[in-house]
């Protein structure tokens, strides 16, 4: 048995889930109130990936037939007769590690002498998403509206007091667009920093625009 590094803790926020591959097996990471849990990324009903469903207030819901599970234990809530296959997790030096055991590793076919697939983090079928985290208010709403105007495929994750804005690969917003929607002058980077406690990606700011692109998160 061994623990394998699969993701950075900073990439998984409270109330979020993240699919990964561990030795060729699809695993779903879930973070609830600072604790990280790992399960096979498949519903106990028909094997549909749970990462395609939703996580809300500690409840995992499958997108297919709405089977629900307690994200902390993997036990079924609706129906109660089902449960998820869990994997041991620990955190170390800012990273999430999942235990890889004989049961977790997928066996190679008899016709193949190749070793199991190496561990890799989330499948690269989708580009990394970047963007700001904004404290909700009049200014933040104007920034979000401007981002929606200037970028495609914008996702807003509502966290109540703040919102996480995510755009594939590159997120751009201009001072001009914010001022037009806000109805008053807006200063970059000063006014942005007031409402942006964090962000994901590498940030480059000039007096005229702010750009978040694929890179390290602050």
pLDDT, one tens digit per residue, over 48-77 is 899 989 988 889 999 888 899 999 999 999
Give yes or no for residue 139 having a pLDDT over 70: yes
Residue 86: helix, strand or coil by DSSP?
strand
Residue 132: helix, strand or coil by DSSP?
strand
Q: Does the reported pTM lie above 0.85?
A: no
Q: Which CATH class is domain 129-213?
A: alpha beta
Q: Angle at the Cα of 216 (from 3 to 87), degrees rounded to 5?
A: 20
Give yes or no for residue 207 having a pLDDT over 80: yes
Q: What is the pLDDT of residues 71-95, one digit of tens each?
A: 999 999 998 888 999 999 999 888 9
Place of tokens 């981002």: 147
Q: Which pLDDT value is given to residue 123?
A: 42
Q: Which fold has domain 2-100?
A: Rieske Iron-sulfur Protein (2.102.10)
Domain ranges of the chain: 2-100, 129-213
């Amino acid at each position: 048995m061994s623990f394998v590094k699969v993701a950075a803790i900073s990439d998984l926020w409270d109330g979020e889930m993240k699919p990964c591959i561990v030795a060729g097996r699809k695993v779903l990471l879930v973070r609830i109130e600072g604790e990280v849990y790992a399960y096979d990324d498949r519903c106990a009903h028909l094997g549909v990936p749970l990462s395609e469903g939703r996580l809300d207030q500690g409840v995992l819901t499958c997108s297919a037939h709405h089977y629900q599970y307690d994200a902390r234990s993997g036990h079924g809530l609706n129906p109660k007769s089902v449960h998820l296959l869990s994997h041991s997790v620990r955190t170390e030096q800012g990273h999430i590690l999942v235990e890889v055991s004989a049961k977790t590793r997928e066996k190679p076919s008899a016709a193949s002498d190749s070793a199991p697939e190496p561990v890799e983090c989330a499948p690269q079928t989708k580009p990394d998403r970047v963007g700001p985290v904004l404290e909700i208010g009049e200014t933040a709403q104007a920034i979000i509206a401007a981002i929606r105007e200037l970028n495609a495929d914008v996702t807003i994750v509502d966290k109540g007091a703040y919102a996480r804005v995510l755009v594939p690969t590159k997120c751009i917003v201009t001072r001009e667009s914010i001022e037009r929607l806000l109805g008053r002058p807006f200063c970059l980077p000063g006014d942005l920093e007031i409402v942006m406690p964090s962000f994901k990606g590498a940030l480059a700011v000039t007096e005229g625009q702010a750009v978040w692109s694929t890179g390290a998160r602050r």
